[in-house]
Amino acid sequence: MKHYSTHSIDMFVRFVNQDPEAYNWLIANGYQELVATLEAVRDDKKAFKFLMDNKHFELAAFVNAIWDDDKAFRVLLDKKAIDWAACANYINGDEKAKEALIRVGKGHFVNLAIALQRRIHEDGDRNVSPWGVFKNLLDFKKYKKDEDS
């Protein structure tokens, strides 16, 4: 697995928080997989495929672990991606995971979990508002049209 510095995770957090400068930094510095990770968390199938095709299996497992996939969580543990596993657990409500990350000096993963959780909630809120439902219907038609091509 690729090593991610504290700075790269901090930039990922800023990107999750919708900072365009962070997006530019991630792309310019070869971290496209982190950009794809957020999009995959937000249910972008092409982004998830990018992670798999480019052998970012731990990040793909992280995405699935966020959505309570026990097998994906086990993959993270087997691959010794403990920080990513703890981050996913914290997103899923495990306060002990947060404490463990802080104890080992990985507060940047706590910040990532908080940012991802906020984005997931924002996306969910958009999907249940009347305008969000209408917009999703339009997106579904576009998705279906792309799938048929």
- 107-128 helix and 95-103 helix, angle to the nearest 10 degrees: 150
pLDDT classification of 62: cutoffs 50, 70, 90: very high
Per-residue pLDDT at 21: 98
DSSP letters spanning 50-101: HHHHTT-HHHHHHHHHHTT-HHHHHHHHHTT-HHHHHHHHHHTT-HHHHHHH
- The stretch 10-18 carries a mean pLDDT of 98
Per-residue pLDDT at 124: 78
Per-residue pLDDT at 134: 53
What digits encode the pLDDT tens for the residues 93-116?
999 999 999 999 999 999 999 999
Q: What's the whole-model pTM score?
A: 0.82
Domain ranges of the chain: 6-148
